[in-house]
Amino acid sequence: FRDNDYFKKIKYFMAKIMNISEELDIYPEIKWDSHRIVEIKIYSHKSNILTDKQFELSKRISQIWYNLS
């Protein structure tokens, strides 16, 4: 992304993740650094396995990112 679009798109991307996370009642760890890297960790506090909701969140995050590029 160009610099002027970059911050707007990252803000949109993160807001969408937060909305979907709230809808699914899953709260991933999101890190964004100055090197334009976004790291998202999806894990469960309740068990050692990933649930269908977590896979759904992952799928929807991928779709958002794909649509932004």
Distances (CA, A) of 6 to 2, 26, 49, 64: 6, 26, 34, 15
pLDDT at 7: 82
Start-to-end CA span in the chain (Å): 8
Pick 9 or 35 by higher pLDDT.
9
**Per-residue pLDDT at 36 exceeds 60:** yes
Q: Which residue has the tokens 């396995």?
A: 49
**Per-residue pLDDT at 66 exceeds 80:** yes
Query: Rounded to two decimals, what is the model's pTM?
Result: 0.79
**Per-residue pLDDT at 8 exceeds 90:** no
The helix/strand/coil state of 51 is coil
